[in-house]
Chains A and B, each alone.
Chain A
Amino acid sequence: MARFAAGDTVSTGVKAQMGEDSTDEQLVARAQAGERIAFDLLVRKYQYKVVKLVSRYVTPADAPDVAQEAFIKAYRALDGFKGNSAFYTWLYRISINTAKNFLVARSRRPASQDIDFTDAEMLGHSDRFSEQDTPDALLESEEIRDAVIATIRELPPDLRTAIMLRELEGMSYEQIADSMECPVGTVRSRIFRARAAIDERLRSLSER
């Protein structure tokens, strides 16, 4: 495991959001250079935000498909992203437009073409509805969230404080170090250890 060395960070004096934005810039640059993995990481990073965003416009059942379409559009347009705004701001606009276009397209479709879930099951076309809803693909979010919170509660206080200040409050490592009156390297270590414990729990849940 790599050890944290003093002076080896670049953003300890910068707001956490700026650090995350610089991560995005790096991933976008790599994706624009053709690294599919970099775009994959951006998808994984923003999928929940985008699904939540488009859910304001479309039904929860349609939201994942609309979000997927938004990411595909973003991928197609990626070379046109010049970094004049944050990546998520750009993605946000694409997502909103995709959702609105979806609604327009749906409004043009005759009502008779809409198939409800029961009909689809009877017709054997339930796949399009169920891909995200099968137990193997989609775990009960509440159950997972509860398990994660329980794991956080069981953490030693210092680890719990560090991870919550980071994840819930969005504070930078330096800000956390100030509030906890400890070195930034200690904060970094605590956050990692907390995160490793939580990830272990999450991983075990997702592999059930």
Chain B
Amino acid sequence: MIDERFSAYLDGEASPSEAEAVLSEMGRDPGLRAAWGRQQWLRSALRDVDTEAAYDPGFAERVARAIDDAGESPARADRVVSFPARRRWRTAASLAAAASVVGAVLLVAEPLGRDSSGMPDAGGTTLAGDDAGVPAVAVSGTPAGETRAAVNVARSNRAADHWSVSDPAVEDQLNGYLLEHNGLARGYGMSGATPSFLRVATYGQDTQR
């Protein structure tokens, strides 16, 4: 059974003494470790709404079993996976290229994302609004099966947010760049910080399903 300390630890908001206690309890209690896994799935399912996060409670056990079967132990020096500096350079260059593409997109797309008041559209994530500030994505009264559409209301209901150029091939290519950037951003743990305008990067996914 989870408690408040567990919840705070899950969010990185526990004090050191609380964290120590929670870790100790998780070490003793498989049920608590399972709860940790469930909450991680929940986080993934809510944040990465475009992804089928298949609930797989047995995954960690399989990894542990495989490690045991192989007699693995962390790391001797001769087995350490290293990443040459040039790869880091290439990664940085890739990110820079992606950022420049996004920057160029913003220059063009920004006017499309503004409403008549001139403010950027919040994409359904307004903090102060109806229902005690609940984001529209959270409380729209949709049936469960329509949740994803509700969460993506900003992108699905506003064609103006989508990148649009006269040449469909160029449009697809640009949106491909955006998709890659969005994936990279999420991959680097920036999903929570990804501005709402980057939701244009999901362009086309609705229609592909």
Contact = CB atoms under 8 A, between A and B. Distances in A.
Interface of A: 1-4, 8-12, 15-23, 26-27, 30-32, 34-41, 43-49, 51-53, 56, 60, 64, 67-68, 71-80, 86, 88-89, 92-94, 97, 131-132, 137-139, 141-142, 144-150, 152-153, 157-158, 160-161, 164-173, 179-180, 188-189, 191-192, 195-196, 198-199, 202-203, 206
Nearest to B148: A145
Contact of B82 (A80, A132, A167, A196): A80
B53 interface: yes
A2 B145 contact: no
Given A11-B13, A86-B189, 6 more contacts: A2-B3, A40-B60, A138-B54, A142-B145, A170-B191, A203-B34
Contacts of B5: 2
Q: What does DSSP make chain A's interface, helix, strand, loop or mixed?
A: helix
A93 B74 contact: no
B158 interface: no
Contact of B52 (A9, A67, A141): A141
Interface string B1-44: 11111011111111111110101001100000111111111111
5 contacts: A9-B14, A17-B190, A40-B64, A68-B66, A192-B7
Nearest to B192: A170
A144 B55 contact: yes
A49 B44 contact: yes
A196 B26 contact: no
A76 B56 contact: no
Contacts of A17: 189-190, 192-193
Contacts, number: 288
Contacts of A86: 188-189
Interface residues of B, number: 90
B101 interface: no
Given A47-B59, A153-B139, A16 B192 contact: yes
Nearest to B91: A93
A60 B53 CA distance: 11
Contacts of A2: 3-5, 18, 21
B204 interface: no
Contact of B134 (A31, A67, A93, A161): A161
A53 B81 CA distance: 19
